[in-house]
Amino acid sequence: MRPKALLPAVLLALTAARVSAQTIEDSVMMRKNSLCTAVLYSHDRWESYWEGPLKRVNGNIGKITTQSVAGMVDYGVTDRLNVIASLPYVWTEASQGVLHGVSGWQDLTVAAKFNLLETDFTRSGSLRTIVAVSAGTPIGDYTPDYYPLSLGSASNRLSGRLTLSFRAKRGWYLDGTSAYTWRDNVTLDRASYYTNDQLFFSDQVAMPDVFDYTVRAGYRRPGLDIPISFSQQITRGGGDIRRQDAPFVSNRMNYQKVDALVTYDLPMMKNLSVRAAGSYVVRGRNVGQATTVTAGLLYTFHFGS
Amino acid sequence: MRGLRRSSCATVITVVLALAGSGCNQDIPTFGDLSPNTPASGDAGAANWRMIVLSGPADFPVPAPAPATSDAYRAELATIKAAQGAITDAQRASIEYWSGGGVLRWNEIMRELVAKADLPPAPRNGTYPAPDPENPFADPNFPFGNPPYAARAYSYVSLAQYEALKVAWFYKYQYNRPSPSKVDSGVQALMPTTDLPAYPSEDAVLSGVSAELLKILFPTSTEEITRRAAEQREAALLSGKAAASDIAAGLALGKAIAPVFAARAAADGFRTAGGSPAATQALSNATAAKGEVPWHSLETPPRPPMLPAFGQVRAWMMTPTDIVRERPGPPPSTSSAQMQQELAEVKNAVDNISRAQLAIVYKWADGVSTPTPPGHWNAIASEYVAGAHFSEVRAARAFALLNMAMHDAAVGCWDVKFTYFNPRPSQLDPNIRTAIGLPNFPAYTSGHSTFSAAAAAVLSYLFPSGASAFAAMKEEAAISRLYGAIHYRSDIEVGKDHGQRIGGYTVSFARQDGAN
């Protein structure tokens, strides 16, 4: 793969790979025969939401809280090819009103992440190009017809992702990542529904495609990774939530959010890292203005030589 | 090596672009799947079927048409031939659409209009502004197409269509003018042909009477309604079914009959069905004085109850005395052991709901942005009407009977709700969380149970072979309200019984209306 002259850098990367290496979006690759396992708890809450373009609160739901515990694995098939899987268990509840919260297994996501290209294109750093393909499918038999308390959209989906990562000397890096997601029809328990100015005579809902991108700047050294990022999701179709209507699964759900994340290797515990992250939706359409905090543990196994 | 990587990069990008280009654009239907209808019977005697609101055809004279040999009529035929020669794909699609049946299509359109209008007002400064018919586009839009409003709207339009078609049938068989495709072999028949005389055009009658009433009932949809009506008339002309004079006479007839129903609607008591805060407070006080827990809104901010005086709106087949006579007795006392037991049953049901039960709850939820429970039963009826290959006038009869019964069910049920003012389960036990939105009006009796029983009674009369299916649907719709924790078992059982009795009034009428 890489010229032997870069061995020190490879060793550094190997160490660094211990952290942060279980998301599809990031620019880190697991080395061959390494398995990163993670358990992440996430707490997401919003009170304000956008009803189409109109920002409002709603006394009949108060604050919507979504909690999840997700298990994730990321395995280095080779140094350049990682396989990732994740599955969250989700709880939702409303702080006001009478609606029942729900809980259950949400969607299994499986991804292949491939480090396509490593370019030392200047003296000051290198550029890494990663492509990823991921597929998601609902595991729990939940209905997508219960927004804003639905466990998820219950749609089968396929994403293609391209990630470019510029790694400067001394640990600074700048990532750009973007994905396009195709979503299959979802099935409701009813024979007709009204959305986007039309009554549809079917239990099938066509789900608009989704485009998203993230720009991330961070600092990474052995045992520590601190990125901050800005993300935007653009749903390519779908209707707005109408005045005083409930949200609907195929709504045009758009948002811009900022994230901060810290992953730190515990000095006393070999192969164990802790992670804490926070994100905040700054603008949106047909989504809640969510504040999300995430905390988790990552443990890496090294198999073979 | 680098070149190799570049080429694999290009491959991946190509695959991604190919997927993007394929853009799986799933087509979800926005109208029902109706094949072109060839009526099993022309119902030539429909002019003699009993009228309900109108006194008869004499009040709506239709002048004799020009003879088929006249220059004027020949010019009309030439116009059709020319138009057929230049027909567009969109026009062919429109003919295909309307050949499924005018009554059935207008029923679908009505359901869409109701779903569009079925949104409660949003709160403003702690209160809820009322929809204003004088300013329908303001926030909140007029109307709020809630279940009683929808039941009433479906009934007015369906009955007006039915009465107008009976009048049309009278003149059709008086003048006996064939359709253009039968008069002139140069005119293609692009819809199934029948022996039904073309003058006045039943499609134009339907377009006129439906559009005039729907524009009043759903004023924010005027543009859409007008467009659909014009498309229906164009399809009738282009298909070789009706000439311009057939259509003009039909449109004039439909427009002449609509005002009779508009006038009745303006004076049927709906205008004051919204009640007043003072009247609601008096009801609450009177309920408390009886030692019962009175209903109150569980919304934030508290919302006035939905149409508290709808029980005084004029019914179709029942007099105000009938409404009071059929009113069920009171619900279990809010302090009774039975109420405690029913409350526990609700909590247990929703907290331990199965996925199959949840599917039933959502199937019958019929909440905001839907055609409402009466609309759901119109959708059920549509399948049977389409399957029976009815003439337009018999299809109109089916929907008129169904919707009159459901309007009467709305009046009767709302009379019960605002007689007893009984609280919802979540009010008596705040630990009860619902699986669907909680309707903002008293619990006893269940509207869905009442609507469903009335609908099942009428549909079982019209389609005896479907009776067991209608009964099963009624039961499922009714019990869904208990699974979803918005109704007690008493609301459901008493509501079903009440609805069945209300439906019986319409069935009794139908047995003797001359259509059998």
**Residues 6 or more apart in contact with residue B502 via CB below 8 angstroms:** B318, B326, B405, B408, B409, B412, B450, B453, B454
Q: Looking at the DSSP assignment, which residues form a beta bridge with residue B183?
A: none
Given a cut of 90, is residue A14 above it in pLDDT? no
Nearest to B29 among A98, A114, A202 (CB): A202
Q: Looking at the DSSP assignment, which residues form a beta bridge with residue A108?
A: A137
The first and second tokens of residue B281, run together, are: 């407070």
Domain of residue A132: give its range.
4-302
What percent of chain A lies above the pLDDT cut of 70?
92
Which chain A residues have a beta carbon less than 8 Å from that of B365? 190
In the prediction, which pLDDT does A270 show? 84
Q: Exposure pattern of A230-267 as b/e (b: 16+ CB <10 Å)?
A: ebbbbbeebbbbbbbbbbbbbbbbbbebebebbbebee
Architecture of domain B46-266 in this structure: Orthogonal Bundle (1.10)
Q: How many domains are there within chain A? A: 1
Domain boundaries, chain B: 46-266, 298-511
Which chain A residues have a beta carbon less than 8 Å from that of B363? 189-191
In the prediction, which pLDDT does A269 show? 86
Work out the angle at residue B430's Cα, subtended by the Cα atoms of residues B425 and B435, and round it to the nearest 5 degrees: 60
Given a cut of 50, is residue A6 above it in pLDDT? no
C-alpha–C-alpha distance, residues B325 and B406, integer Å: 18
What percent of chain A lies above the pLDDT cut of 90?
85
In the prediction, which pLDDT does A305 show? 54
Nearest CA in chain A to B426: A98
Alpha-carbon distance values, B242 to A47, A121, B192, B249 (Å) = 58, 76, 13, 11
Overall pTM > 0.90: yes
Profile chain B (516 residues) by mean pLDDT over runs of 10 residues: 42 43 65 94 96 97 96 98 98 98 98 98 95 94 97 98 98 98 96 96 98 98 98 98 98 98 98 96 98 98 98 98 98 98 98 97 98 98 98 98 98 98 98 98 98 98 98 98 98 98 98 96
- Those of residues 93-152 in A touching chain B at CB distance below 8 A are 96-101, 114, 116-117, 129, 131, 141, 143, 145-146
Whether the Cβ atoms of residue B492 and residue B449 lie closer than 8 Å to each other: yes
Tally A–B CB contacts below 8 A: 133
Which chain B residues have a beta carbon less than 8 Å from that of A158? 19
- Those of residues 189-208 in A touching chain B at CB distance below 8 A are 189-195, 197-202, 204-206
C-alpha–C-alpha distance, residues B310 and B63, integer Å: 41
Which chain B residues have a beta carbon less than 8 Å from that of A100? 350, 433-435, 485
Contact B359 A143 (CB under 8 A): yes
Architecture of domain B298-511 in this structure: Orthogonal Bundle (1.10)
Given a cut of 80, is residue A5 above it in pLDDT? no
Nearest CA in chain A to B32: A201
Contact A60 B299 (CB under 8 A): yes
